Amino acid sequence: MSAFKWTEETYAASVSSRCWWCTPYDNGWPGSPDHGYDLSKDEELRDIVAMEHDLAPVPVWASQLVQGAMRFVPPCGHHSFPGPFLDIVDAIGMQMPPVFVRACFTADPDRKKAMMDYCLCLDAWLAGASADAAAQELNALAHRRIDWTTVCAQLWSALGERTETKELLVERTLLQLRYWIKVTVWRDDPASQFGRDQYLGDYSPDGCLAVENGNPLCGAPSFDLQSSPRIQRIEARLAEICPDWEWFRQRIAAVDCMNLCAPKTFRYLERLLWAIGKERPVSLPWQPVDDEPVPGFLCVDDTYPAHDDAAVWWDAFLSALRNWWQDAPPTGDLGEDLAQRLGDSTAVKRWLVRLFARRLHLLAETGPIRRLVKIGKP
């Protein structure tokens, strides 16, 4: 075996170089300094690539795992947090890449059904129905078993007096939500089970979102929402009558907010509807506008991980990964659980666990997940 040398050529040829999507290292050896991180000076990464070099060669399953599920581990945490991260650990332990990756643009059926409940609320408001009329159906048939009488009353109150601007903003939001319900995929749902009766943009068989999230076998199409004449009419009118339309447009169409896979999708929807009721921007965690708090009128606190719990879990998880690849005894329930999932220690597994831990450290320093696990800016 040739002696290991830490060079651009060595790094580029490594499997370890192929899992950095959504981090500064995704720009490669020469591009990472442009984003404030110089991977050529990352001694931890150097040692990881050296571990890979000693394997010679990397097993096919490990290479597939790095370039698939590990590369596409969701940068915001996913609505099923911490599931996607444990999936990687399970895959390493079983020495088999997962068949389905819980990544961006994936949302389980329960998530879709929960959003459909709120879509019914908005549809009823648009139709001019009373809050009581909407609540009667939701209390009887909704997927989410909550106090819909209170939720609907609070939503109608938050939206306030009906105006053309509010109606168009609610309609545009509703169409965007239905788009995400239709287009996000799951193990048994390649955009084929939900929204099949709704035209939400031209069909695009080659615009597969699944290719962009590590699920090329899912075979899901995409839909060009902006090609819809209905969307075009709504947006053209809003551009005429809504002074803050550009702010609303960006919030409604924001992939990292309104996509169902995002952990706090329902909370962002709540903020957006509050802003529609005010007909002006409101503060977002990364974009403060004023000090007025947005109340929790949609009863969605149980739809996303608690920040404090997520932060504690994250620290313990990274510590457990480090202990395991260093062959240190496991500590705590999570350490014991990880040790059981990973099974016997091998050189390949230790390299993968160390690589995964480095990926997560970098992701937490630079990616949107830092907001969920309380790293850096809130």
Strand partners, 204: 222
Q: What is the pLDDT of residues 38-60, one digit of tens each?
A: 999 999 999 999 999 999 899 99
> Residue 377: which residues within 8 A CB-CB, separation 6 or more?
286, 370, 371
Q: What is the mean pLDDT of the chain?
A: 92
What are the residue ranges spanned by the domains of the chain? Answer: 8-103+306-372, 109-303
Closest of 21, 108, 107, 11 to residue 70, by C-alpha? 21
The half-sphere exposure of 370 on its side-chain side, counting CA atoms within 13 A, is 16
Closest of 216, 312, 223, 301 to residue 266, by C-alpha? 301
Q: Is the pLDDT of residue 377 over 90?
A: no
State how far the Cα of 334 lies from the Cα of 74, in Å rounded to an integer. Answer: 21
Report pLDDT for 101. 94
Q: Mean of the pLDDT values across residues 140-168?
A: 98
Tokens 């287009």 sit on residue = 183
106 phi/psi in degrees, rounded to 5: -120, 135
**186 is written with which tokens?**
């799951």
Q: Mean of the pLDDT values across residues 184-201?
A: 90
State how far the Cα of 179 lies from the Cα of 213, in Å rounded to an integer. Answer: 18
Q: What is the pLDDT of residues 335-360, one digit of tens each?
A: 999 999 999 999 999 999 999 999 99
Are 147 and 70 contacting, i.e. CB atoms less than 8 angstroms apart? Answer: no
Tokens 């992939």 sit on residue = 255
Give the chain's radius of gyration (CA, Å): 23
Report pLDDT for 229. 98
Q: What is the pLDDT of residues 286-324, one digit of tens each?
A: 555 666 788 999 999 999 999 899 999 999 999 999 999
Q: Is the pLDDT of residue 67 over 80?
A: yes
> Residue 15: which residues within 8 A CB-CB, separation 6 or more?
52, 58, 62, 63, 66, 67
Structure confidence at residue 278 as a pLDDT band (50, 70, 90):
very high
pTM score, whole prediction? 0.92
